[in-house]
Amino acid sequence: MSSAGGGPRGSVRPERHVQTGRGGNGGSSSTRTKSAPPKRPSSSSAKSSVDSDNAADAIRVRVAVRLRPKNNEDFIEDGDFTSCVELQPEAKKLRLKKNNWSSELYKFDEVFTEGASQRRIYEAVAKPVVESVLEGYNGTVMAYGQTGTGKTYTMGRLGKDDPSERGIMVRALEDILASISSLTDYVAISYLQLYLESLQDLLAPDKINIPIVEDPKSGDVSLPGAAVVELRDIDHFNELLQFGEANRYAANTKLNTESSRSHAILVVHVQRSVKVKDENEGASVVSSMDDLLAASNHVPIVLKSKLLIVDLAGSERIDKSGSVEGPMLEEAKFINLSLTSLGKCINALAENSPYIPTRDSKLTRLLRDSFGGTARTSLIITIGPSARYYSETSSTILFGQRAMKIVNTVKLKEEVDYESLYKKLECQVDSLTSELERIQKIRQDEKAKIERKLRKQEESLAETKRTFTTKCENLEKENDCMTMEIKKLMEELNDERDQNKILSGRIVEMEMSLSQNKQQQLENSTYKKALSDSTQMYEDRIKALLEQVEKEQARCAYLELEMHGARQVVANNENSSKMQENGKVNELQKELHKLKEESRNEIQHLEAKNSELLSEKDLIYEELKSMQEKVMQEAKHRRSLEDEILKLKKVLSENSAVQLERGTSMLRTTSGVGGGAIYLPRTGKSRDTIPNQKDTISKIFEEVGLSNILALLKSEDLDVQIHAVKVVANLAAEDINQERIVEEGGLDALLSLLETSENTTIHRVTAGALANLAMNGSNQGLIMNKGGARLLANVANKNDDPQTLRMVAGAIANLCGNEKLHVKLKEDGGIKALVGMVRSGHADVIAQIARGIANFAKCESRAISQGHRKGRSLLMDDGALKWMVTSPTTFSASTRRHIELAFCHLSQNEENTRDIITSGGIKELVRISQESTRDDIRILAKKALNSNPAFLREIQ
Ligand code: ADP
Ligand code: MG
């Protein structure tokens, strides 16, 4: 359009100067110096090479004409009238018929019938321009024609429903996007509307009156205010185009105008990386990074080019000479100054006028560097077939002709047959092409669909893989953990097995030692049996000897009687035969004397033997006593062994995870504190193992009689006293004997023995006997009234022998179980003595003390709850409370339970609060409430804690 047009910008592409001749109405041809036009692409349509022999054609504005098919209006208005245009596409000619006798023939670069496919239009009209744009030249494709003839159809059709209908804009962008490299190249668009000399941005509707800026040096035209959107892909372009169309529609509605009066201008900015070998060889396009790298020894350059696709406003108000006609003049002047100006420029260019009025309008200013000049330009003029619009069609055709600047048409030899065949084939090709495009589009859609599906599947596969891997990892971790745990458990199991083995070994040892013990006991009892048998035998023999002594004595008496008789006879005969019989008497006296002597001797012998037997009996008794003690010790030992076995069995069974009904046995053995144990001097001896001794004692009891036995308690002989008290203690263990013992003065005797004796054994056994008697409620009162508690306290204070203390503690413990006696028991020093025995430290003694205190506390608690008693506990003094609070945890379980129980009972009494707090008992109470092995004790402790606000305060 202008001689001032510069070469491609932004590049170092060398310019080639060629002489270009312009065709005119046989007029002068001008010589212009301009940049080299792009060479004809080899891929362009065959028909585009019609003028390939003419170098000048290479840069001439190429003009094609397209006839729109008849529409409904045409059919209605024109009926069967023939169209005013007749096309000769094979000759690229068009005949415009004014009437039946007048017509004109025009030649164009391309002539498209109403059936021409959009694809063919694109390939013939736009593709060469697109290719030259890709090579770095500016290019323009314009559609000119009357409103309703198909400009927008040709240029802007999106072809959403029918892909074969896609217009030049879409196809051009498809080609451009397919040809560039996304790595190195760049494609962006601006989309504008020119209306009433105002340039509006269709991609950014707020922008109106966008200025057109011209570089005074290069002559480059730019629109600095317009939005330039870089394209991602063809879908993106379609979206933008649709968006722009919507804006165009909205803008036109707002301005109360029609799109036919505005120009739509699509500006495509293309920037490509190319390499040039040297100054003379020119640039060659690189399509990828690889090419760029391969061409690293070449000079890298960037080509910038611009493609304008212009859908012009309707040409109906412009007359054939390009000026506005008729009454619309004024309006048109303003409304479409641009189109008028374009017409004038075309005319001026066509006439080779020295002045081209490009500055008259915005459109011509915008097209200045694209239309003519260095750029390749294609114009498609659209016409309708109806004769009603003859003048508009004629004007359009003349515009096209001027644009072609060709007046004379080259005559071609036309072959009629060939022509009709060509026509027919072309129709077929067109319909097949459309069909092919449709199928291709469907295929593409399907392909895209499948690709999308594939991508989704791949994504889901990747996701599955990821989750699977995570799962695997988790499982592996878990597996590791499990293996570790199993290993640990196996180790623990092995440890436990080893421990079990050791424990089993110990049990076997223990059992062996137990059975040995049993064996020994069996032997002992056999030995005892033999002893008692032999005792019996000796007793029998003593009895027999005594009988014999009696017999001898009787015989002696008889002999004395006989002797007396004989004396009488002698006296009677003395007088008669004194002399004769003197000798005889002497003889008899001698004989008697002899007999007496014999008897005496025999008695003496028997008496010696008797005393011998008696001493032997004493010896046997002594032996029996020592045996009994031995058996007692062994039984004790055995008990402790049994206890240990029990413990070990418990541990073993716990370890082996064998279910153990330990609760029941525990409860059975520990429940109750008030029953009172039976205290035999032969403590520790199992009832089963001593039937013989018991039998012996009951035999003694039967034969000697209780009164005799009780009498023996006062014997001078200590041994006799000891044995007697042992027998009494044993008898006192049986309920049936207790009453008789007390009735016959046994209790008094025992108490006096306790008071008077200094002997430890006496103390121990007497205390045991009293403990036994104190199991009976009525005896308890008697014992107390007779000062038993005081006596027991004395013994406790004087003695340190654990067994004696154990008996004393047991006796006091039994007395503790009677609430009525509590005051006196305390007054007589019983409690103090009981607590004092703690010093012994012996487990058995401690057990009895704990039992006693538990008995006491429990009875006291009951009495208080029943209202029999009030006030502070009698256990508070004498150190009992302190001992309970600080008692070591090493005590046996049952002892600890007794202490805990006692303490819990004391804690129930509010009067004891201060003592418990000051003694630091709260901590112990809390501990019991949490740690005691007995539920009832824990409950008692919790009850005490929760019901006493002072305790609660202390806890906080
Ligand atoms: P313009 O832009 O020139 O005013 P349009 O492109 O809007 O005209 O076309 C007017 C009508 O004619 C539209 O409905 C369009 O689809 C139809 N039309 C135009 N050209 C063709 C063609 N070659 N084939 C089929 N229909 C067409
Ligand atoms: Mg239109």
pLDDT in tens, 15-64: 322 222 233 333 333 323 233 333 333 333 333 333 333 444 446 789 99
Confidence of residue 710 (pLDDT cuts 50, 70, 90): confident
pLDDT of residue 138: 85
pLDDT in tens, 832-857: 999 999 998 899 999 999 999 999 99
Rounded CA separation 137/348 (Å): 24
Q: Ligand 1 pocket, 157 CB below 6 A?
A: no
Q: Ligand 1 pocket, 152 CB below 6 A?
A: yes
pLDDT in tens, 122-135: 999 999 999 989 98
CB 610 within 8 Å of CB 542: yes
CA dihedral for 438, 442, 445, 447, sign (positive or negative): negative
Asked whether residue 836 is marked as a ligand-binding residue, the answer is no
Compute the half-sphere exposure of residue 430: CA atoms within 13 Å on the CB side of its CA.
17
Confidence of residue 645 (pLDDT cuts 50, 70, 90): low
Which whole number is the average pLDDT over 460-479? 90
Which range, 110-119, 428-437, 621-630, is most confident?
A: 110-119
> How much distance in Å is there from the Cα of 358 to the middle of ligand 2?
24
Rounded CA separation 67/170 (Å): 21
CB 136 within 8 Å of CB 13: yes
Residue 142 has pLDDT above 50, yes or no: yes
Q: Ligand 1 pocket, 117 CB below 6 A?
A: no
Which whole number is the average pLDDT over 152-180? 95
Q: Ligand 1 pocket, 145 CB below 6 A?
A: yes
CB 855 within 8 Å of CB 825: no
- From the alpha carbon of 156, which atom of ligand 1 is closest? 6
Assign 27 to helix, strand or coil.
coil
Q: Whose CA is nearest to atom 17 of ligand 1?
A: 150
Residue 355 has pLDDT above 90, yes or no: no
pLDDT of residue 395: 92
pLDDT in tens, 792-845: 999 999 888 999 999 999 999 999 999 899 999 999 999 999 999 999 889 999
Of 588-597, 893-902, 912-921, the poorest mean pLDDT is in: 588-597
Q: Whose CA is nearest to atom 16 of ligand 1?
A: 153
CB 224 within 8 Å of CB 277: no
Q: Which listed ligand is nearest to 167 at the C-alpha?
A: 1
Q: Whose CA is nearest to atom 23 of ligand 1?
A: 68
pLDDT in tens, 243-266: 999 988 777 766 656 667 889 999
Asked whether residue 669 is marked as a ligand-binding residue, the answer is no
**Helix-helix angle 127-134:168-179, to 10 degrees:** 30
CB 398 within 8 Å of CB 244: no
Of 27-41, 184-198, 550-564, 582-596, the poorest mean pLDDT is in: 27-41
Rounded CA separation 768/725 (Å): 10
Mutate to test the pocket of ligand 1, among 65, 66, 67, 68 (most ligand atoms within 8 A of CB): 68
Confidence of residue 319 (pLDDT cuts 50, 70, 90): low
Q: Side chain identity at 15, as an amino acid letter? A: E
Asked whether residue 152 is marked as a ligand-binding residue, the answer is yes
Report which of 817, 816, 840 is spatially closest to residue 830, judged by C-alpha positions: 816
- From the alpha carbon of 153, which atom of ligand 1 is closest? 6
pLDDT of residue 392: 92
Mutate to test the pocket of ligand 1, among 112, 118, 120, 153 (most ligand atoms within 8 A of CB): 153
Angle at 453 between CA 451 and CA 456, to 5 degrees: 110
Residue 481 has pLDDT above 70, yes or no: yes
Q: Is 45 exposed, middle or buried (0-12, 13-18, 19+ CB in 10 A)?
A: middle
Q: Side chain identity at 90, as an amino acid letter? A: E
Q: Whose CA is nearest to atom 18 of ligand 1?
A: 150
Q: Which listed ligand is nearest to 146 at the C-alpha?
A: 1
